[in-house]
Amino acid sequence: MSIVEVEHLAKTFRSRERASGIAESMRSFVLPRYRTREAVKDMSFALDAGEVLAFIGPNGAGKSTTIKMLTGILYPTAGAVRVLGFTPWQQRRQLAYHIASVFGQKSQLWYHLPPQDTFNLLARIYELDMTEYRKRRDFLIEVFDIAEYIRTPARKLSLGERMRCELAATFLHKPRIVFLDEPTIGLDVIAKQRIRDLIALLNVEERVTVFLTSHDAGDVEQVCRRAIVINHGEIILDESVATLKRDYLKAKTIDLQLGGTVEELLTDEVGDRQSRLKLQLAAPALKREGIQVLKAQGHSLRLEVDTTSCPLEPVIASIMQQQHILDMTISDPPMEKIIAAIYGSQGTVQPPVEAENVSL
């Protein structure tokens, strides 16, 4: 059953244009000019209980504006939304007891207080039964492994430690839906993984519905089961992450720092040595479809591997047989590249020109 229903949702911002110079300012005072921007256009989708949705798109696509309408912070210009049966902008207070949001760029923990005090305040804000609250708090402290941080003022915590406390605070009142806006932004690889695992765990254990926006393809791939891709305020793709993975998230980039020079790993059987892209790896195990040499210089080697035709493990194992690996990074394609590929596959040659009207 759908717990989020969005029908023909639209939001247009109308903002006054700033004038420069005294004459223009006087003119604008008498005859103001307005700029309208269609941040969200005719958006419709539904979300079932327990789903984990990636709501993705490039900067300015309309993600935050949509989340703000779903959580009741903004009124739409047109359309209808029901979240757990509530109309968010009319029943924001009632809805707040059942949902939660985390904004990676903004902290909801009181800056000067230890997270423990914030938890106590939130328990009062959400009118939780104190015995139930203590049980819940202790459970979350254990799951999120934050016992050693909860008595330290939030300002003294590292970003990763703070994010774990933020998430624990978010789940205190057992929300049925969590809106996570860039929950892993700025975190290192280990901290990112930890946050992803925790979100996945809470989704499975408590069947909480997750609505996640991120510019990190790893968040989408590892946490979400469905993806809605938007651009210019419109949905351009609504697919399972499995399909997205097969079609767009398949390339991984491996950056290696080797003990020896890359020369020893390469062969010039295939043509022109000057053209790096034509270089081929010498080891037979690496001469296969799906591996492309992007860069080979000194001790650095960068490969792009299509994981649908070539798993990563044998590639790395084969290189290790021949050379010491001093350092290695495996990265996902940037989200912007994935979205550009989706655009390409939709037959859209050029992204639509953003509607921007200036009116008097």
Ligand X SMILES: Nc1ncnc2c1ncn2[C@@H]1O[C@H](COP(=O)(O)OP(=O)(O)OP(=O)(O)O)[C@@H](O)[C@H]1O
Residues of the shown chain interacting with ligand X in the complex, contacts defined by CB under 6 A: 13, 15, 37, 39, 57, 59-65
Report which residue type is found at 16: R
Alpha carbon distance 46, 28 (integer Å):
43
CB of 13 to ligand X, least distance (A): 3
CB of 11 to ligand X, least distance (A): 8
**Cα dihedral 118, 175, 106, 120 in deg (nearest 10):** 0
Beta strands in the chain (DSSP E): 2-16, 34-48, 52-56, 78-83, 99-103, 177-181, 209-213, 226-231, 234-240, 251-258, 266-267, 280-281, 291-297, 300-306, 325-331, 356-359
CB of 138 to ligand X, least distance (A): 35
Alpha carbon distance 196, 245 (integer Å):
17
* Residue that has been written with the tokens 């798993």 in this structure: 311
Question: Which of 208/229 has CB closer to ligand X?
Answer: 229
Question: Which of 57/175 has CB closer to ligand X?
Answer: 57
Question: Which of 13/110 has CB closer to ligand X?
Answer: 13
Alpha carbon distance 240, 320 (integer Å):
35
CB of 23 to ligand X, least distance (A): 26
**134 SS3 class:** helix
CB-based contact 184:219 (threshold 8 Å):
yes
CB of 60 to ligand X, least distance (A): 4
CB of 39 to ligand X, least distance (A): 3
**296 SS3 class:** strand
Question: Which of 138/336 has CB closer to ligand X?
Answer: 336
Question: Which of 138/354 has CB closer to ligand X?
Answer: 354
CB of 35 to ligand X, least distance (A): 8
CB of 354 to ligand X, least distance (A): 7
**167 SS3 class:** helix
Alpha carbon distance 45, 47 (integer Å):
7
CB-based contact 180:102 (threshold 8 Å):
yes
Query: Element (H or E) spanning 133, and its range?
Result: helix 130-143
Question: Which of 1/358 has CB closer to ligand X?
Answer: 358
Question: Which of 229/256 has CB closer to ligand X?
Answer: 229
Question: Which of 64/257 has CB closer to ligand X?
Answer: 64
